[in-house]
Chains A and B, each alone.
Chain A
Amino acid sequence: MAQQTAPPDTSAEDAHKPDSAVVRDALGVGVAVGLSGFAFGVTSAGSGLSLLQSCALSLLVFTGASQFALVGALAAGGNPFTAAAGAFFLGVRNAFYGLRLSQLLALPRAVRPLAAQWVIDETTAVTLAQPTRRARRLGFTVTGLTLYLLWNLTTLLGALGAKAIGDTDAWGLDAAGPAVFLALLAPMLRTPTERAVAGLAVLLGLGLLPVLPAGVPVLVAALAAPLALVAEGRRRGRGADDAGRSDEPDATDGADGPGGSARSEEGR
């Protein structure tokens, strides 16, 4: 039916993406990621945070990686400000998502303070994948709402469950945090620069761990990002130099043949 009415043009077909398809996309992401709030609740309670503290984090911070980072740093004995700084730096990427989303969604100013809390990896991913403004707004809203509700509900259940489970480490739940980080990190490691940043950050993070106060090594490891940018800039600069230099010998080689013979003739 749709094939009969829709023109063969794919962009036009995309533009007619039915609301039900957008909702399906949004629910898929919202439910899958929302359920992992359980892992956060357990990890948070296992790290020594109270039920209220765990729930406050999911309600107020609502950006998973920052939450895991904060409870990890607090469990490791970091002071509250270095722990918060690490979590904050992880949250900075949301500002860049917001920039893209504000253009795509064109939200009224009054709605923005409310929508802001939902500006995270997953809502951005779903919104960017939609063809029209209507679909984007729908995708953002459904993903945001589903994820927010489920993430908070499962945080509560996880934090409650952690007590029932007893020793959360015996259940391997201390591996949930790093697995979440790895899952978020993996798709970012596409180019050599990204891999170099990750490698250097691991070395800094682990190498400085025994000698610096808890939480500080991660912040120092963040320097891998600007360092890699400087190195990239240098390499690009030197690459341009190399190209210039390799051009020169070519040019002189070309001129050298006759020039050399001219000189050798002079020598004679």
Chain B
Amino acid sequence: MNTWIAIGVTALGCYVVKLAGLLVPAQAVERPLVRRLAALLPVALLAALTAQQTFAHGHTLVLDARAAGLAAAAVALVLRAPFLLVVAAAVVVTAGVRAIGG
């Protein structure tokens, strides 16, 4: 039930902001500070999420095969690999490290 609540709230919220962008007159959100904040907010969230989903296990911080996978993804990004290849590199390296590490 909790999961359905989360899905419902997220779906509604995400749709409303998409629609708002198309309907709101541009000058209402054109203020430089608002635009700047909107550009920086995803940076903060994505960075925190990347770190958490790589180094967290529940409430504890851990260093495991995911870190190697993320490093592989970073290398792929530096080499300008396409999106799918970046994700594949992370998955394959993580699985590989786990297979070797037992």
A residues adjacent to B (C-beta < 8 A): 32-33, 35-36, 39, 49-50, 53, 56-57, 60-63, 65-66, 68-70, 72, 74, 76-77, 79-81, 83-84, 86-99, 101-103, 107, 112-113, 115-117, 119-120, 169-186, 188-189, 193-194, 197-202, 204-206, 209-210, 214, 217-218, 221-226, 228-229
Q: Which residues of B have CB within 8 Å of A202?
A: 47-48, 50-51
Q: Return 18 A-B CB contacts under 8 Å, by A number.
A: A61-B10, A74-B6, A79-B2, A80-B3, A81-B6, A91-B13, A95-B20, A95-B38, A96-B35, A117-B15, A172-B95, A175-B91, A175-B93, A179-B69, A186-B74, A201-B51, A224-B44, A225-B41
Q: Which residues of A have CB within 8 Å of B17?
A: 88, 91-92, 94-95, 98
A194 near B6: Cβ-Cβ < 8 Å = no
Query: Which of A70, A89, A181 is the one whose CB lies under 8 Å from B50?
Result: A181
**A-B CB pair tally, cutoff 8 Å:** 309
Q: Which residues of A have CB within 8 Å of B45?
A: 69, 86, 89-90, 201, 218, 221-222
B73 near A222: Cβ-Cβ < 8 Å = no
B22 near A115: Cβ-Cβ < 8 Å = yes
Q: Interface majority SS on B: helix, strand, loop or mixed?
A: helix
A92 near B48: Cβ-Cβ < 8 Å = no
Max chain A CB contacts within 10 Å: which of B49, B61, B66?
B49
Knowing A74-B6, A209-B61, the reply to whether A116 touches B19 (Cβ < 8 A) is yes
Scan B74-96; emit 1 where CB is below 8 A from any A CB, else 0: 10010000111011011111111
B7 near A56: Cβ-Cβ < 8 Å = yes
B38 near A93: Cβ-Cβ < 8 Å = yes
CA distance A63 to B82 in the complex (A): 19
B73 CB to closest chain A CB (Å) equals 4
Q: Which residues of A have CB within 8 Å of B3?
A: 49-50, 53, 74, 80
CA distance A65 to B41 in the complex (A): 13
A241 CB to closest chain B CB (Å) equals 21
B47 near A197: Cβ-Cβ < 8 Å = yes
Scan B34-62; emit 1 where CB is below 8 A from any A CB, else 0: 01111111111111111111111011110
CA distance A184 to B44 in the complex (A): 12
Query: Which of A94, A97, A201 is the one whose CB lies under 8 Å from B48?
Result: A201
Q: Which residues of B have CB within 8 Å of A197?
A: 40, 43-44, 47
CA distance A214 to B6 in the complex (A): 14
A218 near B49: Cβ-Cβ < 8 Å = yes
Shortest Cβ distance from A195 into B: residue: B43
Q: Which residues of B have CB within 8 Å of A181?
A: 46, 49-50, 53
Q: Which residues of B have CB within 8 Å of A200?
A: 44
A39 near B58: Cβ-Cβ < 8 Å = no
Shortest Cβ distance from B28 into A: residue: A99
CA distance A53 to B17 in the complex (A): 22
Knowing A173-B91, A185-B46, A205-B52, the reply to whether A98 touches B36 (Cβ < 8 A) is no
| Beyond known contacts A116-B19, A172-B96, A201-B44: 20 more, CB 8 A cutoff | A63-B18, A80-B9, A84-B13, A90-B46, A93-B39, A98-B17, A115-B22, A117-B15, A170-B98, A175-B73, A176-B87, A182-B46, A182-B90, A193-B40, A198-B43, A200-B44, A201-B48, A202-B50, A202-B51, A218-B52
A98 near B10: Cβ-Cβ < 8 Å = no
CA distance A103 to B4 in the complex (A): 35
